[in-house]
Amino acid sequence: MTELRSIERVGFVGLGAMGSGIARRLMDAGYSVVGWNRTRAKAQDLVDAGMGWADTPREVAEQCDVVLTMLTNTAAIPANAHGDDGLLAGLRPGTVWADLSTIAPDASVALSEEVATTGAFYLDTPVSGSPATLAAGQMSVMVGGDRAAYDHVEKLLLSIGPKVTYIGANGHAILTKVAINLTLVVSVTAFAEAVALVEKAGVDRAAVVDAALKSVVASPVIGYRAPLLVDDDTVFADVELQQKDLVLAQDLGRRLGAMVPTCSAASEMLSAARSSDLADRDFLISVSDVYRRAAGVAL
């Protein structure tokens, strides 16, 4: 088996809102980080704080012993992984590539097989949480892939969040993330439905939110999202980004012959929410807008 490389430099590709927050946590933990993002301006604060910069994903891989990626979706893989400037061209034997993205499970497994041909190790390491969860130090990470590679980077992953769980073989962590996000979207959509229902009956929305946050339904995701119905000041994930996860679950259900009826119902609501005037807000706000308009609740 290829010997794992000593971790001296950590690479990061994909420095959006979540990626930049994770990269900063790694730097705060003492890791030397080299990053690349399609738009350098979005990463300038990190560069100013001491992060190294690479001109291509390939240069990140060539310089680093562990590479983390946070890609928008499955379609973003070719631009970052393949080609002369892609990560695969720069990976060295013994490097660990840990992908934090939520992408199609079959694409993740296929990528792990490509990485194996370079002598490097690929881990699917999707995260669960939001920028707010990350900032609070409560992010969770799931890991699929070679157990020795996981053991090698476990300490690094713990600097992202305190809850890191090894799931199993390549693809198993991303499958678990699909299941978790299915649950998340269904529960948040149901909450929007419930609030709109009693608001139609004349109950004050702020009072409903306050009561819910003190009740048994106050899960972490309801805890940080429900207040948006009173003070819409944050976008954790818009409807387009969140529906991506439901589509992954629906595709998986079709492939496996497994029923996902609540997933499908929630996805229909998100489809309707895409035409909302508030579609650029957090998906809870977009879905709530659809329910309230359908019920004739005064806006």
Choosing from 42, 177, 200, 244, which is the catalytic residue? 177
Cβ 262 vs Cβ 186: under 8 Å: yes
1: which residues sit within 8 A by CB, 6+ positions away?
148
177 is catalytic: yes
Place of tokens 């900032």: 135
Place of tokens 């590679």: 149
Calpha distance 244→186 (Å, rounded): 13
Tell me which residues are annotated as active site: 177
